[in-house]
Amino acid sequence: MNRKLEAKIQKEIRRRGFERADILRQKEQHLQKTQHTLDALQEVTGLPRPQLDSIADEITRSLQVTNKDFFSIKHQILMTFGVSGFILILSWCVYII
């Protein structure tokens, strides 16, 4: 292997390693914030921890599904056809009147 290719490989390994470390650190911080929020809610509301955990899980799942489908090709095609259909029907109604 030539030196430039080897240097490029090493640089990419370091970049991906730091990137993964940042992602893991962010996930850990998010989990800690969630735990602190749940602790505070438990103190304030008196709700049992399992109920608060189920609320947090429910919210996480519902928001992940919403965000995951937002940029899907299927969703974009459906929205495009829906808007186009609405415009066609509206223009047809205006043409008839």
46 backbone dihedrals φ, ψ, rounded to 5°: 80, 5
Q: What is the reported pLDDT for 66?
A: 60
pLDDT tens-place string over residues 20-56: 999 999 999 999 999 999 999 999 999 999 999 999 9
- pLDDT interval class at 72 (50, 70, 90): confident
Q: Look at the alpha carbons of 16, 20, 26, 27 in this order and tell me if their dihedral is positive or negative.
A: positive
Contact 38, 53 (CB under 8 A): yes
How crowded is the C-beta side of 78, counted as CA atoms within 13 Å?
Answer: 7
Q: Look at the alpha carbons of 47, 48, 49, 52 in this order and tell me if their dihedral is positive or negative.
A: negative
Report d(CA 77, CA 58) in Å as an integer: 28
- pLDDT interval class at 67 (50, 70, 90): low
pTM above 0.75, yes or no: no
